[in-house]
Structure 1
Amino acid sequence: MYYLIIILAATHVNGYGVKNYPPDNELQSSLLQYAKERLTVDQRLQRLKVDHGLDIKSSKLAQLNNKFSVPSVRKPLPRDMATQAVLEKVAEDLTQGNGVGTIATLLCNEGISLPRDFIRNVLANHAPEGLARRFPGANRIHRSALVSIGPNHQHHADGHDKLNAQALNMGGVGFGIYGIKDQWTSFVLALVVVPNNRLACTTGHVHLDTVETTGIIPITFIMDKGSETAYIFANQTGLRAAYAPDIDATRFPAAQHLRSVHNTPIEGLWHWFLKTFGFNVRDFIRQGYLDGIYNPNNPVHPQLFYWLWPKILQLQLDIFVEYWNNHKIRYQKDKPNMSGQTPRHAFTVPPEAPYENCGIKVDRAVTDALRGQIPVSREDSMRWVDESFEKAAEDAYNVIGRPPLSMAVGWSVFSSMAQLIDQVGS
């Protein structure tokens, strides 16, 4: 009887006959596709029969969905992250024409399944104008064009979570990204991979990095609402008061909080990053997990992942920033902000009247003092692994000859280093 059970298990035999399952990668791909289409259970069972000749019951489908971590509205993201995911879709839709179904589908395509009622409630609470305008006969909402005096009038900042743990779905590892962008020129001042873009200490250091690099602050710094912007708000306000006390704060506030849906200059950048680089980056990273190179249950692998892949991702972000700042923005005669130039040129060369370079020069000593008031040092805010593992990883990297890092060789380098670290540890 014992041997019979083993034979039946190996051939997938049960009371309903022999089951010829496709390879795991094909089956996972199909199940994820069904989730993207938001198919019902019956529809998914029908598709399995058509696509793979696989006739199973709903209970077995549930087991397979769990095995391959197929997104489900029954297992949504935490509420704050789910809300942010919806608002990012709203921010990408400047015409506010996308409804609940469209947003749900777009999120499903990214591996995020949310209940329609949840999406509808988020829109009602955070973007009611979009819901209102979709009623038949509703008045159109007139959006004014983005207008800026010139370079450094307004800088916009926001975090990006499309490569976080939920997006990668690799057993808990993921990245945060934080960006800062000039509105008038569209010049990207910072695009940085960070351990956590929701910590005020971390984003505060990113902000001061940008101030030190450029030597200036803008008239107004605009960011999303949230506790992670506390030090940015305080430092920008203090620097503006010290170096430009004559600017009318009621007309030109030093710092301003906006919801993501209205912080469009930086939100639009995420769309372009994903379109040109982001999706490829995500797939490259996930490939190591899908190919079995990365094992979240191996205690060395998550630490090595966090030692190696932030470096590779930052290289990709730098390539994207270089592309973006060097690309020519199409000339538009009636556009109030810069057009017909590259962002880098417009930011570097002072514009002619009626525009004005609004940058306010600040002293390095003052920014150093402000950095010292942040309770967590920059080094610790940007730390991915502890010092002992940092040394072990550096030693392993030296042994393999310190090869140049890139997306293409990332998992090869990972494998070589993991083997060496395992040998030393054992």
Structure 2
Amino acid sequence: MSTHNRNPSGKNQHAHDADFEDQLAVGLRRYHREAKTDNKEIAALLLADYKITTSASTVKRRRKALGLSGGGATVKKMAKADAVQLVLNKVDKDPAKRAGVRTIRATVAFEDGVILTRQVIETVNFAPTMIFNLACRQIVWEIMQDHDGDSFALREPTAKKVFRVAKFPIGINQRWAMDGHDKLYKIGFPVYAIVDDATGKILKASVVPSNRFGEIVCYRFLCLVEELGGMPIQTTTDCGSETTLLFGVVNTLRHQFHPEIDSVEVPPHVYLRSVHNISVERQWLRLRLDFGDNCVLTFNKGTEDLKYNSNDPDQYELCQWLWPRFIQTGLDDYAARRNIIKMRKQSDKPGPSAMSRNTAYSLPETWGGRQCLQPVDIDVIRQMKLDMGGDALIAFSTPQFAARAQLAYDALGIQKLEQGNIWDVFRDMLPLVFPGRVLRSRTFSVSWLVSP
């Protein structure tokens, strides 16, 4: 018998793969921030998103090793004061008071990496308010029924109901719904978004100089086509005049790269009334409640507190560089949070339900869908973008000023631009971008009050 020991360390395991472990940890932490705790689902997502083949039991062990636990286990280990503080931190960032329990829970998981139970969040701030509001609504309804019941019939609530038919999606990227959001136009920063129709996933939400300019709308579409490597079978928009160029481009790309698809039976682009373009239209309320209202309040607060004077050319130019950066970060965070929230279960609904939009998009086979993205020549797309003017088309500042502002921003060492610090950053950047001046408070002339 040989006396040679071929395994002196005594480890009867596979060789340690550092790259695999690092990639696995990245994926697990991402899904933890998305509040996913089902090990089987996480294993499937790892295969779809990272091409990592692993079992549910391995996922369970790795999550435990990384300290990633679900809501129940987290609450048992966490002091109540810590949980309360996490929730209140998010409540403080919502001066418009638009965020509900689900939104706060998803935000805590996404930003802090801590999954809390709904019960914990409700006990902190929300349950009494929700019950009170429901009770008040019921009381008002009962009083109106008792004393003014005929008015309900006169208003004909059923006559105004929009007629709808069920959608039967065949897969992801079958149809992209596109639309602009004007609620931030009041502060000068409109939004344009593209949503996957089947899953409701926000593919891209962008702050743009104008969402009523055809070239900009078309350019945002081409940017997403380049990013994903293909185009959908069909796009839908409302009937705005800014979509006419998009109509022509989508039809041209379809005829050039996929002439086998019958354009009569399946039109490349379809115009819909806004009430029917619901995949993207339904995003606007949550965007306004979760981000837009607070954004407008913060902007107006800067004006009211004399931190910003739009009539000052220097301040205006810096604002046009800094605020789109802040809003785009907010839009990206909103889309990321929105895409991880689980949809309610609808047993009779064709398409995905009882899963997050990210899961539905990454694992279309779980709800009977498939990948419908139509490949195109990306070099052609890039050339089209250059011919339209390139990124200068969607820029708020000149390249020269943007470079100068970026140097000043980097010099301040800002970790993250938030609504709590944006006007402080603005104040500190102004003398760096425009040497020799500081932020001056506005002075108002009262000469017209003085008698000649």
Fold-level similarity (TM above 0.5): yes
Task: Say whether 1:266 aligns with 2:280.
Answer: yes
Pick closer, same or farther for the CA change 1:412–1:425 going to 2, 3 Å. Answer: closer
Kindly provide the amino acid, as one letter, of the partner of residue 170 in structure 2: I
> Do 1:176 and 1:196's aligned partners in 2 also have CA atoms closer than 8 Å?
yes
> Do 1:327 and 1:342's aligned partners in 2 also have CA atoms closer than 8 Å?
yes
Kindly provide the amino acid, as one letter, of the partner of residue 164 in structure 2: R
Gaps of 5+ in 2: 1-153, 439-452
- Matched residue pairs, number? 285
Instruction: Give how far 1:151 is off.
Output: 1.2
- Provide, for residues 187-243 of structure 1, a one-character-per-residue CA deviation record: whole Å limited to 9, x for no partner: 111100111111112111110111111112111100122332233222221222233
Kindly provide the amino acid, as one letter, of the partner of residue 168 in structure 2: V
Rounded Cα–Cα distance in structure 2 between residues aligned with 1:353 and 1:264: 20
Instruction: Give how far 1:139 is off.
Output: 9.0
Q: 1:160 aligns with which of 181, 195, 200?
A: 181
Task: Say whether 1:306 aligns with 2:320.
Answer: yes
SS at match of 2:333: helix
> Do 1:202 and 1:378's aligned partners in 2 also have CA atoms closer than 8 Å?
no
Pick closer, same or farther for the CA change 1:255–1:297 going to 2, 3 Å. Answer: same
Rounded Cα–Cα distance in structure 2 between residues aligned with 1:388 and 1:217: 34
Q: 1:211 aligns with which of 225, 237, 245?
A: 225
TM-score (norm 2): 0.59
Instruction: Give how far 1:395 is off.
Output: 4.0
Instruction: Give how far 1:392 is off.
Output: 3.8
Gaps of 5+ in 1: 1-132, 169-173
**Equivalent runs, 1:124-163 vs 2, <5 Å:** 135=156, 142-163=163-184
Instruction: Give how far 1:315 is off.
Output: 0.5
> Do 1:200 and 1:227's aligned partners in 2 also have CA atoms closer than 8 Å?
yes
Map of 1:186 onto structure 2: 200
Map of 1:414 onto structure 2: 426
SS at match of 1:260: coil
Rounded Cα–Cα distance in structure 1 between residues aligned with 2:158 and 2:322: 55
Map of 1:278 onto structure 2: 292
- Cα RMSD for the two superposed structures: 2.4
Map of 2:436 onto structure 1: 424
- Provide, for residues 306-342 of structure 1, a one-character-per-residue CA deviation record: whole Å limited to 9, x for no partner: 1101001100000011011111111110111211121
Instruction: Give how far 1:147 is off.
Output: 3.2
Map of 1:383 onto structure 2: 395
Map of 2:348 onto structure 1: 334
Rounded Cα–Cα distance in structure 2 between residues aligned with 1:379 and 1:248: 33
Rounded Cα–Cα distance in structure 1 between residues aligned with 2:355 and 2:367: 16
Instruction: Give how far 1:290 is off.
Output: 1.5
Map of 2:138 onto structure 1: none
Instruction: Give how far 1:422 is off.
Output: 4.5
- Provide, for residues 318-370 of structure 1, a one-character-per-residue CA deviation record: whole Å limited to 9, x for no partner: 00110111111111101112111211121122425853332212221121233
> Do 1:294 and 1:301's aligned partners in 2 also have CA atoms closer than 8 Å?
yes
SS at match of 2:338: helix
Kindly provide the amino acid, as one letter, of the partner of residue 144 in structure 1: V
SS at match of 2:369: coil
Q: 1:359 aligns with which of 362, 370, 373?
A: 373
Rounded Cα–Cα distance in structure 1 between residues aligned with 2:369 and 2:215: 35
More displaced stretch, 323-332 vs 306-315: 323-332
SS at match of 2:370: coil
Kindly provide the amino acid, as one letter, of the partner of residue 226 in structure 2: E
SS at match of 2:275: helix
